[in-house]
Amino acid sequence: MTRKNQLPGDAHWWRNAVVYQIYPRSFADANGDGIGDLNGIISRVDYLAALGIDAVWMSPFYPSALADGGYDVDDYMDVDPRIGTLEQFDTLVEKLHENGIRVFVDVVPNHSSDRHAWFQEALAAPKGSAARDRYIFRDGRGENGELPPSDLASHFGPEGWTRTADGQWYMHLFTKEQPDFNWDNPEVNQYFLDTLRFWSDRGVDGFRIDVAHALKKKLDRLPDRHSFALSVMKDDGSDPLFDRDEVHDVYRQWRAVFNEYDPPRVAVAEAWVHPNRRPPYASEDGLGQAFNFDLLASGWEVTQFKHVIADNLHSSAESGSSSTWVLSNHDVIRHATRLVIPGYGTSEDGFDIENQWYQNHRFDHGLDLDLGLRRAKAATLLMFALPGSSYIYQGEELGLHDVLDIPADQMQDPQWHRGEGKFKSRDGCRVPLPWEPTGSSFGFGPGGAHLPQPDWYAGVAVSVQEEDASSTLSLYRSALALRRKLYESDELEWVDLAPGLLAFRRSPKWISITNFTDEPIAITGEVLISSDEVVDGMLPGNSTAWLRSF
Ligand code: NOJ
Ligand code: CA
């Protein structure tokens, strides 16, 4: 079969790729309606090429009512008309490939949107029909079925069941606009195989799989559940909702589809599972790679970082895959802000401290944001020195802070609106990017921006940082160029230095040292790059340096 826009290359290109996540609605807006679009991304391909990344991952750009930022998909094989067209998508892939940049798209298989043709058909169809069997419909409890089928909450708030006009209920692990598919239905299974082929045929190189651990469910007894914390999830495959062993049957079929292509298509699983359960998602006959979010959940603390790195290198050795590293994405407070949030990284389940802090302190945060940025740059430089692939999120290369002061009535995130005051809003990391210091939307586009942009954007815009050799953007560009030159193998050897320093050797010539303390510490060796200036052999506190040898 002829493939459009094929980028040839070896089958292992992904193993140590640096992948840049684009949140399409907030990257660049070509037509001035305030919403980022494909033409906007096309106009910035040179920027992506200059950054030195290997691939982009695009969060959903499919038709959607945006009940959950696009993770509520109306049609898996089309582009939202507000974002562009399939032809523009082809042009974008072609332009990225011309620049040697691969493309991942997001696949959202656990749930569709309630506007999906299948869900609309299910609502119109009678109880027990084939149309309803593609989703999870059940009768309610109580005399007249007026009580939900089980006591199930959803991730973003109270109810995990919603009642339909004829009295039946459907399950949704996220918002009520995101009905869960029934993955025991063969049509659902086939639909996603078709979706993977549809995008692969258009030249897409890889897929990011949303909530990859949730597809298969065991619903003979309907689960009651109020918490989705990892500590509540079973770690042996027996949980009724998550991480069941059967899910890997699905991914084995997906792998067969990926292998129809040359080079084989690749995938990365978003699987919030116990660390001992991660390897199968990343295995060669499964999706091939799985996100590890442990760095993203770590506080700025040397032993935590060291354990996370050691554990994940061990786990990737077990699956035969490479490690993945993530410090920011579209779901968390940007790391330049997060790394100074008091207590961050000390909770078992990662995010409750951040959520509480956000609720109570976002308007009077009192954070030392300069320190946050120094730590963020140090953490990033450390991450780029690690074996495996790094996933970075749009705007982190500008050192952006989270936008903490978005007025509640301008928030879009359902987690905020449905969360009954328990969760942070994810809008603060989704604010349209600043490309210029002035203009109606700081160069995001000729019009406005769909979320309010802060005044401080003027100082951190792309065009400002491009002129400044000491900017965060310049650091990212230089570090990525250097990484390409220095990366020889996946070996990592720990080097013991002073307490508070985390150091490892990546090749005879390449050593990375991070100073987690607040005081400068003496180091020896030729500095190749550093996140903060090394003066007289002293590595400043909260910084990382790469050395040639010492
Ligand atoms: C994970 C995505 O990253 C998040 O943004 C989304 O809300 C949920 N999955 C539901 O699709
Ligand atoms: Ca637009």
Structure confidence by residue, pLDDT tens digits, 385-425: 999 999 999 999 999 999 999 999 999 999 999 888 888 99
How far does residue 72's CA lie from ligand 1's centre (Å)? 9
Contact 218, 109 (CB under 8 A): no
The pLDDT tens digits for 494-527 are 999 999 999 999 998 899 999 999 999 999 999 9
Identify the nearest ligand to the CA of 450 by its number: 2
Decide if pLDDT at 2 tops 50: no
* C-alpha distances in Å from residue 241, one per residue of 72, 190, 220, 237, 264: 19, 21, 11, 10, 30
SS3 content of the chain, % helix, strand, coil (to 5): 30, 15, 55
Token look-up 């807006």 returns 29
> Nearest Cα to 206, choosing from 250, 162, 255?
255
Report residue 226 CA to chain centroid gap.
24
Q: What is the pLDDT of residue 509?
A: 86
Report how far apart, in Å, the C-alpha atoms of 474 and of each of 274, 290, 430, 459 are: 37, 29, 22, 15
Would you say the CB of residue 210 lies under 6 angstroms from ligand 1? yes
Q: Is the pLDDT of residue 223 over 70?
A: yes
Closest atom of ligand 1 to CA, residue 211: 9
From the list 177, 236, 204, 168, the residue with the least C-alpha distance to 86 is: 204
**pLDDT bucket at 319, cuts 50 / 70 / 90:** confident
How far apart (Å, rounded) are the C-alpha atoms in residues 59 and 92? 15
Q: For residue 294, indicate whether it is catalytic.
A: no
At residue 228, does pLDDT exceed 70?
Answer: yes
Tokens matching residue 520: 């400068």
Question: For the residues 337-362, what does the mean pLDDT come to?
Answer: 88
- How high does pLDDT run on average in the chain? 95
State which H helix or E strand residue 191 sits in.
helix 186-201
Q: Is the pLDDT of residue 235 over 50?
A: yes
Stretch 323-330: mean pLDDT? 97
Per residue in 465-501, pLDDT tens?
Answer: 999 999 999 999 999 999 999 999 999 999 999 999 9
> Which ligand minimizes its atom distance to the CA of 113?
1
Residue 368 pLDDT exceeds 70: yes
| Closest-lying ligand 1 atom to the alpha carbon of residue 111 | 11
Note the maximum CA span of the chain.
79
CA 330 from chain centre, in angstroms, equals 6
Q: Can you tell me the distance from the alpha carbon of 291 to that of 157, in angstroms, rounded to the nearest whole number? A: 25
* pTM for the predicted model, two decimal places: 0.97
State pLDDT tens for residues 94-146.
999 999 999 999 999 999 999 999 999 999 999 999 999 999 999 999 999 99
Is residue 35 within 8 A of residue 430, CB to CB? The reply is no
Residue nearest to atom 8 of ligand 1 (CA): 71
- Atom 5 in ligand 1: residue holding the nearest Cα: 331
Extract the tokens encoding 393.
Answer: 């999120």
Ligand 1, atom 11, residue with closest C-alpha: 71
Asked if the model's pLDDT at residue 267 lies above 80, the reply is: yes
Mean pLDDT confidence for 171-200: 98
Provide the Cα torsion 364, 368, 370, 375; round to 10°. -120
pLDDT at residue 318 in the model: 85
Mutate to test the pocket of ligand 1, among 210, 329, 391, 417 (most ligand atoms within 8 A of CB): 210
Dihedral angle of Cα 233, 236, 241, 246, to the nearest 10 degrees: 160
pLDDT of residue 421: 84
Contact 100, 93 (CB under 8 A): no
210 is catalytic: yes
Q: Considering 98, 146, 224, 260, which one is annotated as catalytic?
A: 260
pLDDT at 107: 98
pLDDT at 193: 98
HSE-CB of 359 using CA atoms within 13 angstroms: 14
211 lines ligand 1 (CB under 6 A): yes
- Least Cα distance to 537 among 516, 521, 549, 548 occurs for 521
- Predicted local confidence at residue 4, as pLDDT: 62
If DSSP states are collapsed to H, E and C, what string results for 199-227?
HHHCCCCEEEECCCCCCCCCCCCCCCECC
297: closest CA among 233, 337, 336, 351? 351
Please state the rounded mean pLDDT for residues 367-384: 98
CB 174 less than 6 A from any atom of ligand 1: yes
Query: How many angstroms does the Cα of residue 390 sit away from the middle of ligand 2?
Result: 29
Angstrom distance (rounded) from CA 330 to CA 69: 10
Which ligand has its closest atom nearest to the C-alpha of 228? 1
What pLDDT score was predicted for residue 347?
80
How far apart CA 10 and CA 515 sit, in angstroms, is 37
CB-ligand 1 contact for 241 (6 Å cutoff)? no
Residue 1 has pLDDT above 50, yes or no: no
Predicted confidence (pLDDT) at residue 442 exceeds the cutoff of 70? yes
Cβ(390)–Cβ(18) under 8 Å?
A: yes
- Mutation test of ligand 1: which of 331, 333, 391 has the most ligand atoms closer than 8 Å to its C-beta? 331
Q: Which of 70, 2, 82, 7 is nearest to 447 (CA)?
A: 82
Choose one of 175, 208, 211 to mutate for the ligand 1 pocket test, by most ligand atoms within 8 angstroms of C-beta.
211
- Stretch 152-177: mean pLDDT, rounded? 95
Quick one: which atom of ligand 1 is closest to the CA of 68? Answer: 7
DSSP β-ladder status, 161-163 and 266-269: unpaired
Q: List phi, psi (to 5°) of 19.
A: -110, 130
| 82-89: long-range pairs with CB below 8 Å, 24+ | 82/33, 82/35, 82/37, 83/24, 83/25, 83/35, 83/36, 83/37, 83/38, 84/37, 84/38, 84/39, 85/38, 86/202, 88/38, 88/39, 88/42, 89/38, 89/61, 89/202
Tell whether ligand 1 has an atom less than 6 A from the beta carbon of residue 71. Answer: yes
- Identify the nearest ligand to the CA of 446 by its number: 2
431 closest CA partner among 448, 416, 446:
448
Find the 508 Cα to ligand 1 centroid distance in Å: 41
Token pair for residue 195? 């979706």
**Any ligand 1 atom below 6 A from CB of 54:** no
The Cα angle at residue 424 between residues 441 and 237, in degrees rounded to 5? 125
Secondary structure E strands in 185-296: 206-209, 266-269, 288-290
For 190-222, give one letter per residue: b (16+ CB within 10 A) or e. Answer: ebbeebbbebbbbbbbbbbbbbbbbbbbeeeeb
Atom in ligand 1 nearest the alpha carbon of residue 331 = 5
Return the ligand 1 atom nearest residue 329 CA: 3
pLDDT-based confidence at residue 346 (cuts at 50, 70, 90): confident
| C-alpha pair distances (Å), 184 with each of 90, 150, 180, 215 | 33, 20, 12, 9
Mean pLDDT in residue range 74-102? 98
Ligand 1 center to 331 CA (angstroms): 7
Q: What is the mean pLDDT of residues 455-466?
A: 98
Residues 134/136/142/145 CA torsion (nearest 10 deg): -30
pLDDT exceeds 70 at position 381: yes
Per DSSP bridges, beta strands 510-515 and 543-547 are antiparallel
